[in-house]
């Protein structure tokens, strides 16, 4: 894409799930990439990328990393799986609010051309119909109230810099569906639903324990499809969002398990659903009508294909610790 040619692009959260996959795509363009890491090392060490270690809850660090930058993709976020959110819902509030506000302030001070904030579908209320970008009423799903509020507050800060000041800075708000794919978190403490189930299949747990009743209905989008949509919508000038980048389809956890039984050739595996364990949002349907209309967005990867790719990646790269160099 021409918009990225010769640009200096900052990616925060570069050792995380979204950041890693975003950089993997950006290195194919003729641009200069600066990747911010904090506590964790990069999952892939890209030869063309400059890595900077920085705590973005410190103002001086934010000013330093945003200097002479054209575009910023704000992928940093303190996040957890259902078990942590159930026990410690306030864990991620202050660090995320501080980090997002300081990065916006520093980006504006250093005259960054465009700032992209990766938000969340937790900003939406619990509905049984596909939610469009306008369906925000501050009635968050109870277990994700803190996360939803934090993301929406950060969105409002983005809107302020884009709309409410004399010399605005372009910002873009993107709300992903439920992401899955390579370089996700697969550990017991951090993994979300698909990563957790894939890990259990790989370990050949029998019976395999699934949290909840398996009837949760969610919009799952393969990470490569999300990154493609993200880069396309970012390239649209003077569009600030918010915009949903999701599959536009809803699938149950039981459907995921059915597919993984076929993929892993474990058709006789016994599945035990533990309804006493947290499964978080019971249903989340997301509309992608705006993305379809704006830039003809159509995710390419089916659920089965995405699960197969993710499972095969987990077998090779994650479990066996085989490095991938570019």
Of 236, 185, 132, 137, whose CA–CA distance to 18 is shortest?
A: 185
**pLDDT tens digits for range 134-183:** 999 888 887 778 888 999 999 999 999 999 898 999 999 999 999 999 99
CA-based nearest residue to 133, from 245, 8, 1, 278: 245
The whole-angstrom separation of Cα 254 and Cα 260 is: 10
Q: How far apart are CA 126 and CA 316, in angstroms?
A: 37
The CATH number of whichever domain residue 69 belongs to comes to: 3.40.50.720
Residue position matching structure tokens 């059915």 = 258
136 is a domain residue: yes
Question: Higher model confidence: residue 164 or residue 78?
Answer: 164
Does the residue 92 lie in any domain? Answer: yes
- Tell me how far apart the alpha carbons of residues 180 and 256 are, in angstroms, rounded to a whole number: 12
Q: What is the pLDDT of residue 7?
A: 97
Contact 304, 251 (CB under 8 A): no
The tally of domains found in the chain comes to 1
pLDDT per position as a tens digit, 207-219:
998 888 899 899 9
Is residue 316 assigned to a domain? no
276 to 15, 196, 260, 272: CA distances (angstroms): 33, 17, 23, 12
Domain assignment present for residue 72? The answer is yes
Q: What percent of the chain has pLDDT over 90?
A: 71
Overall pTM surpassing 0.95 (yes/no): no
Q: How confident is the model at residue 288 (pLDDT cuts 50, 70, 90)?
A: very high
Residue 6 within a domain:
yes
Q: Residue 283: what pLDDT?
A: 85
Q: How confident is the model over 95-143, as pLDDT tens digits? A: 899 999 999 999 999 999 999 999 999 999 988 899 999 999 888 887 7
Is 50 exceeded by the pLDDT of residue 325?
A: no
Six token digits for residue 87: 């026990």
Q: What are phi and psi of 156, to 5 degrees?
A: -65, -35
Q: CA-CA-CA-CA torsion for 63, 68, 173, 305, nearest 10 degrees?
A: -110
Range of the domain at 56: 2-180+221-248+284-300
Please indicate, yes or no, if residue 163 is contained in any of the structural domains: yes
Residue 193, in any domain of the structure: no
């Amino acid at each position: 894409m021409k918009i990225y040619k010769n640009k200096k692009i900052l990616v925060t959260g570069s050792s995380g799930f979204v950041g890693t996959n975003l950089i993997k795509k950006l290195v194919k363009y003729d641009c200069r990439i600066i990747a911010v890491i904090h506590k964790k090392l990069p999952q892939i060490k890209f030869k063309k990328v400059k890595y900077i270690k920085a705590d973005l809850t410190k103002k001086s660090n934010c000013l330093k990393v945003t200097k002479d930058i054209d575009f910023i993709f704000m992928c940093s976020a303190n996040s957890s799986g259902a078990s942590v959110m159930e026990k410690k819902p306030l864990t991620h509030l202050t660090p995320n609010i501080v980090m997002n506000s300081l990065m916006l302030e520093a980006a504006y001070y250093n005259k960054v051309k465009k700032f992209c904030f990766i938000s969340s579908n937790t900003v939406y209320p619990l509905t049984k119909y596909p939610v469009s970008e306008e369906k925000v009423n501050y009635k968050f799903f109870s277990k994700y109230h803190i996360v939803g509020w934090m993301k929406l507050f950060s969105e409002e800060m983005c809107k302020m810099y884009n709309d409410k000041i004399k010399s605005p800075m372009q910002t873009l708000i993107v709300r992903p569906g439920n992401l899955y794919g390579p370089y996700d978190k697969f550990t017991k403490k951090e993994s979300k639903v698909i990563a957790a189930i894939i890990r259990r299949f790989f370990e050949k747990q029998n019976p395999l324990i699934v949290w909840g009743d398996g009837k949760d209905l969610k919009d799952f989008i393969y990470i490569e499809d999300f990154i493609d949509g993200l880069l396309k919508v970012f390239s649209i000038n003077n569009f600030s969002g918010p915009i949903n980048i999701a599959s536009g389809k809803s699938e149950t956890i039981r459907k995921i398990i059915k597919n993984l039984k076929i993929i892993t050739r474990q058709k006789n595996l016994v599945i035990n659903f533990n309804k006493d364990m947290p499964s978080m949002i019971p249903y989340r349907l997301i509309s992608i009508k705006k993305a379809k209309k704006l830039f003809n967005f159509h995710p390419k990867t089916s659920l089965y294909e995405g699960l197969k790719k993710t499972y095969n990646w987990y077998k090779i790269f994650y479990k066996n610790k085989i490095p991938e160099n570019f």
